[in-house]
C-alpha cells in the first residue's frame, strides 16, 4: 500500500532525481545507477540495488515506490494479439495491445484515459475524455508489459495508437518518450522504432518534430474537408490544408516517412475518386499509406467495404508509386477500444 508521502519514481525525471539526491548530499551519478536498475534491469525492489550503499537504499524505500499498473484483465486473440486492461490508481481503465509480428512484437499504448476528439469511427470517442495519463502511467505500460514477456527482446516497436490523442497530452508524452528512447538509463527503444499517431493536432506536430526523433503517423481518413469534418471533428479546427501543410514541414530525419492511416469505410471514403484525390494530396510528402478496412463495432453504423473495393482503392495508390499496405486488423475477436488501436502497427 502506498504511503501518502511516497512518490512514484516513474514520475520523476533524471534531473528531478538528481536534485532530490543533491538535497541529501548524495552524488548525481547515483541517479544514473538508480534509473538503470529501474529501466534496464527492471527491478521494483530497492533492496537488490547492490551498487548502492544500504543507507541510500533505505532512504529510497522510505520516500519512493516504483509504480506498476494493476492488470485487470488480459485477453488473447486467436492471432496472438494480447490486450491488457489496466486499472489506474484512481479506478480508471486504459488498455495496451501487444501485437506479434513475424520477427518482433509491437506494443500499442494509450496516452489518455478516454479521448476528447470524438472521431465517429472510434469506440473510445463515445465516453469522452476522462483525463491525461501521467508520464509514469505511459512509461509503465511499456515497462510492465516488457517484464511479462518470455522474450522481452522481441518487443521492438512502440506505437501511440491506443486510447487518446497523444499530442493533446504533450508534456507527459514528451517526458515519457525521453525515457522510452533513452539509451543510457531508459528503456532503449530507437526513435525510429517509436511512432506517435495524431488525429491532426496541427500546432503540436511541429513541436513533436522539434522535441523528439520519433516517427509521425497521421490518421487521415478522408480526402475532402466535408467528409473529414464529419468523421473527425478536429478537422473543423485544423482543416486538411493546414494538416497537410504541417506534414510537409515536419522535420523528417533522413530515410524516414510519415505514415498516413486511412480507415476505409463503405460508401463514405472508399471511392476511386477518393483514392485519386488521396494520391494527389500526398504527392509532395515523403510518406507511406496504411489502408485499414473498417472493423464493424456496436458503437458505429459504418460498414466495411467489399474486398474488391479495398483492392481497387489500393491499386490506384500503388499505380501512383506509393508504398501502400492494407492493414488487416489484428485482434478482431478481442474487444479493442479504439479504431486506431485495432489497426496493425507500422514498422520503421
Asked if residue 268 binds ligand SF4 (CB under 6 A), the reply is: no
CA torsion angle 60 14 192 201 (round to 10): 110
Q: Which of 115, 119, 247, 338 is catalytic?
A: 338
Site for ligand SF4 (CB under 6 A): which residue of 122, 133, 246, 291? 122
Residues within window 35-94 making contact with ligand SF4, judged by CB under 6 A: none
Site for ligand SF4 (CB under 6 A): which residue of 240, 338, 343, 346? 338
CA 332 – CA 330 distance, rounded (Å):
6
Asked if residue 261 binds ligand SF4 (CB under 6 A), the reply is: no
Set of cell numbers at residue 6: 511516497
Q: Residue holding cell 509503465?
A: 140
Active site residue 247: no
Indicate the residue among 24 and 236 with the shorter CB distance to ligand SF4.
236
CA distances from 123 to 6, 50, 103, 119, 164 (A): 36, 47, 30, 9, 11
Q: Which of 95, 137, 165, 261 is catalytic?
A: 95
CA 263 – CA 268 distance, rounded (Å):
10
Tell me if 297 sits within 8 A of 270, measured CB to CB.
Answer: no
Asked if residue 164 binds ligand SF4 (CB under 6 A), the reply is: yes
What are the respective helix, strand and coil percentages of the chain, to the nearest 5?
Answer: 40, 20, 40
Active site residue 75: no
CA 47 – CA 293 distance, rounded (Å):
50
The piece of 42-50, 66-74, 93-101, 116-124 that touches ligand SF4 (CB under 6 A) is 116-124
Tell me if 169 sits within 8 A of 130, measured CB to CB.
Answer: no
Site for ligand SF4 (CB under 6 A): which residue of 96, 124, 132, 212? 124
Count the Cβ atoms, other than its own, within 10 Å of residue 235. Answer: 24
Please report how close the Cβ of residue 211 comes to ligand SF4 at its closest, in angstroms: 20
How many residues bind to ligand SF4 according to rule CB under 6 A?
Answer: 14
Site for ligand SF4 (CB under 6 A): which residue of 26, 52, 119, 142? 119
Contact residues toward ligand SF4 (CB under 6 A) are 115, 117-119, 122, 124-125, 163-165, 199, 338-340
Active site members: 95, 338
Amino acid at each position: 500500500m502506498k504511503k501518502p508521502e511516497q512518490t512514484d519514481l516513474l514520475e520523476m525525471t533524471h534531473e528531478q532525481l538528481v536534485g532530490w539526491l543533491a538535497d541529501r548530499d548524495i552524488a548525481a551519478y547515483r541517479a544514473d545507477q538508480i534509473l538503470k536498475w529501474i529501466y534496464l534491469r527492471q527491478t521494483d525492489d530497492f533492496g537488490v540495488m547492490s551498487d548502492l550503499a544500504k543507507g541510500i537504499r533505505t532512504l529510497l524505500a522510505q520516500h519512493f515506490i516504483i509504480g506498476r499498473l494493476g492488470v485487470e484483465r488480459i485477453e488473447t486473440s486467436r492471432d496472438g494479439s494480447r490486450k491488457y486492461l489496466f486499472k489506474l490508481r484512481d479506478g480508471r481503465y486504459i488498455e495496451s495491445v501487444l501485437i506479434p509480428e513475424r520477427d518482433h512484437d509491437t506494443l500499442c499504448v494509450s496516452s489518455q484515459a478516454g479521448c476528447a476528439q470524438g472521431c465517429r469511427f472510434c469506440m473510445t470517442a463515445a465516453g469522452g475524455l476522462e483525463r491525461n495519463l501521467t508520464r509514469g502511467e505511459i512509461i509503465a505500460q511499456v515497462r510492465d508489459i516488457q517484464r511479462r514477456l518470455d522474450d522481452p527482446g522481441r518487443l521492438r516497436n512502440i506505437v501511440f495508437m491506443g486510447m487518446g490523442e497523444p499530442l493533446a497530452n504533450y508534456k507527459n508524452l514528451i517526458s515519457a518518450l525521453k525515457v522510452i528512447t533513452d539509451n543510457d538509463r531508459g528503456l532503449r527503444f530507437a526513435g525510429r522504432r517509436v511512432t506517435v499517431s495524431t488525429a491532426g493536432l496541427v500546432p503540436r506536430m511541429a513541436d513533436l518534430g522539434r522535441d523528439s526523433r520519433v516517427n509521425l503517423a497521421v490518421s487521415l481518413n478522408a480526402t475532402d474537408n466535408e467528409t473529414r469534418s464529419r468523421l473527425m471533428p478536429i478537422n473543423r479546427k485544423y482543416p486538411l490544408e493546414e494538416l497537410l501543410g504541417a506534414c510537409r514541414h515536419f522535420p523528417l530525419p533522413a530515410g524516414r516517412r510519415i505514415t498516413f492511416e486511412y480507415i476505409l469505410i463503405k460508401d463514405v471514403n472508399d471511392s476511386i475518386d477518393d483514392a485519386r484525390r488521396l494520391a494527389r494530396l500526398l504527392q509532395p510528402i515523403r510518406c507511406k499509406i496504411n489502408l485499414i478496412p473498417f472493423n464493424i463495432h456496436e458503437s458505429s453504423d459504418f460498414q466495411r467495404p467489399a474486398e474488391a473495393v479495398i483492392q481497387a482503392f489500393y491499386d490506384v495508390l500503388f499505380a501512383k508509386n506509393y508504398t501502400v499496405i492494407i492493414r488487416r486488423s489484428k485482434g478482431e475477436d478481442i474487444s479493442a477500444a479504439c479504431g486506431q488501436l485495432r489497426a496493425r502497427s507500422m514498422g520503421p
